[in-house]
Amino acid sequence: MIADLRPYPRMKDSGVAWLGQVPEHWGVRRLRTIVDMRVSTVDKLSVAGEVPVRLCNYVDVYKHDLINNAIAFMEATATPAEIERFRLRAGDVLITKDSETWNDIGVPAFVEQTAEDVVCGYHLALLRSQPRQVLGGYLLRATQSQPIAQQLHIEANGVTRYGLTHEAINSVLLPLPPLSEQTDIVRFLNHADRRIGRIIRCKQRLVNLLKEERGAVLYRAVTRGLEPTVPLKSSGVPWLGDVPEHWQIMPLRRASGPRCDGPFGSSLKSGHYTDHGVRVIRLQNIGHGEFNGAGHAYVGVEHYATLGDHSVEAGDLLIAGLGDSRRPAGRACLAPVSIGPAMVKADCFRFRLLPGVLDPEFAAQHLTATAAVASSVMTTGATRQRINLQAMAGRSVGVPPMLEQISIIRHVMDKTAPSVHATKVILAAIDALRECCQCLISDVVTGKC
């Protein structure tokens, strides 16, 4: 299918530097001439006298290419006039218009079906195709392409939060084939997207199986040790169960020295973030037993000095105090050697372990392996898991002798090394497939093939 693509026989200069040549019979139009753009004013705050609605917000768009009634929309209220203007209709395209990160700007999603009680949220712009001008499906594919997305990224202004003006959205240029050709393009790209998507889902299932295998190896080692015939005893702790008889059971506080949470409230907000200074460790950085270095945030040295001691040093134990079913509260990792000046944010805990009692790497893996069960027992909150610093310090851990801790970690690393390598290879393949899909969309909607 893809191999059969051929270049158009006759091309012309589009008059747009970034677009270059386009097929001779195509046009190039500004968005304002082919869509009705509606920037929503509906937020999640309820006001007396308004009618209950379901709110499609920026999270729904980030997580879903297709918007339909199966999504659990946020409850809100709106006036009848707002409902009429911002109600989602089949064929609408939604794009994100503001975010804390510039590359989250202009993320598109396609509305599959009309929903009487679902309205567009205030972080989004609703693009409704004008009849006989552009198809909603083609508009989705065009806004997914890099040339159009880059226009929105360039126009996004701000320092700590980025946003698009109405004029910036309306002024976006995009190539426009005849309607019949738009239909063919949408059909082709949807077919290609489904095929590539199936391959990606199969690879993701394999990644999940490898992750489960590593998790089983890790859990067995850090809760039972390496000797299968060792006598066991009841730990008396739901998330530990039976442990080797010679292990100690102790609260985490007994193995740690200084510990802290991040600053709460208005003392540290996104508005305080800068391009450099003291690194801010956030929940997204605390992975399952490993530090996730993506998503850098910093605070100025001067402001950091006003916050008290929330410092992080290389080798410190970092624990998530907030989580959900996918990333449970209580998961942990170590601050990497390359961390530099750093601090923890709210709901992120720093424990500085005492030497000779609990090896930091063993502690991180032990806490992560038992986090799912521990969080179900210890956390508060209906929709999100939360554990405070005091409760986390009281969390019971199984502690083998120090030499055994080190042996366990070495065993886990050796046993899971092939799985870790395979996972990296598969994830690289998934990234390559996604890049292939992205390039295909860009080439097709700009007439390069």
- The Cα 14–Cα 175 span in angstroms is 8
Q: Which residues contact 241 (CB under 8 A, 6 or more apart)?
A: 223, 234, 235
Is 77 within a domain?
yes
Instruction: Please indicate, yes or no, whether residues 381 and 319 belong to a single structural domain of this protein.
Output: yes
Instruction: Please indicate, yes or no, whether residues 205 and 242 belong to a single structural domain of this protein.
Output: no
Considering its fold, how many domains does the chain have in total?
Answer: 3
Instruction: Please indicate, yes or no, whether residues 293 and 430 belong to a single structural domain of this protein.
Output: no
- The Cα 448–Cα 221 span in angstroms is 55
**Residues lower than pLDDT 70 in the chain:** 1-5, 159-160, 381-383
- The Cα 175–Cα 188 span in angstroms is 17
Helix, coil or strand: residue 63: helix
Instruction: Please indicate, yes or no, whether residues 389 and 263 belong to a single structural domain of this protein.
Output: yes
Q: Please tell me the predicted confidence (pLDDT) of residue 193.
A: 92
- The Cα 89–Cα 241 span in angstroms is 53
Instruction: Please indicate, yes or no, whether residues 271 and 285 belong to a single structural domain of this protein.
Output: yes
Beta-ladder partners of 380: 386
Distances (CA, A) of 58 to 115, 215, 270: 17, 33, 18
Q: Please tell me the predicted confidence (pLDDT) of residue 364.
A: 96
Is 7 within a domain?
no
Of 104, 191, 185, residue with least CA distance to 142:
185
Q: Please tell me the predicted confidence (pLDDT) of residue 264.
A: 83
Instruction: Please indicate, yes or no, whether residues 207 and 258 belong to a single structural domain of this protein.
Output: no
Is 255 within a domain?
yes
Of 400, 370, 412, residue with least CA distance to 387:
370
Helix, coil or strand: residue 263: coil
For residue 324, what are the domain limits? 233-399
* Token output for 394: 């009281």
Instruction: Please indicate, yes or no, whether residues 79 and 113 belong to a single structural domain of this protein.
Output: yes
Instruction: Please indicate, yes or no, whether residues 424 and 308 belong to a single structural domain of this protein.
Output: no
Instruction: Please indicate, yes or no, whether residues 378 and 430 belong to a single structural domain of this protein.
Output: no
Instruction: Please indicate, yes or no, whether residues 91 and 141 belong to a single structural domain of this protein.
Output: yes
Of 337, 341, 347, 240, residue with least CA distance to 286:
347
Element at 249 (helix H, strand E): strand 248-251
* CATH number of the domain residue 297 falls in: 3.90.220.20
Angle at 289 between CA 345 and CA 102, to 5 degrees: 50
pTM metric for this prediction: 0.79
Is 241 within a domain?
yes
Instruction: Please indicate, yes or no, whether residues 160 and 202 belong to a single structural domain of this protein.
Output: no
Q: Please tell me the predicted confidence (pLDDT) of residue 1.
A: 57
Q: At what angle do helices 402-445 and 360-369 cross, to 10 degrees?
A: 60
Is 6 within a domain?
no
Q: Please tell me the predicted confidence (pLDDT) of residue 383.
A: 61
Instruction: Please indicate, yes or no, whether residues 187 and 139 belong to a single structural domain of this protein.
Output: no
Number of other residues whose CB lies within 10 A of the CB of residue 385:
24
- The Cα 125–Cα 108 span in angstroms is 10
Of 295, 294, 298, residue with least CA distance to 270:
298
* Token output for 134: 């552009």
Is 1 within a domain?
no
Element at 143 (helix H, strand E): helix 136-144
- The Cα 114–Cα 297 span in angstroms is 39
Residue % of the chain over a pLDDT of 90? 64
Is 5 within a domain?
no
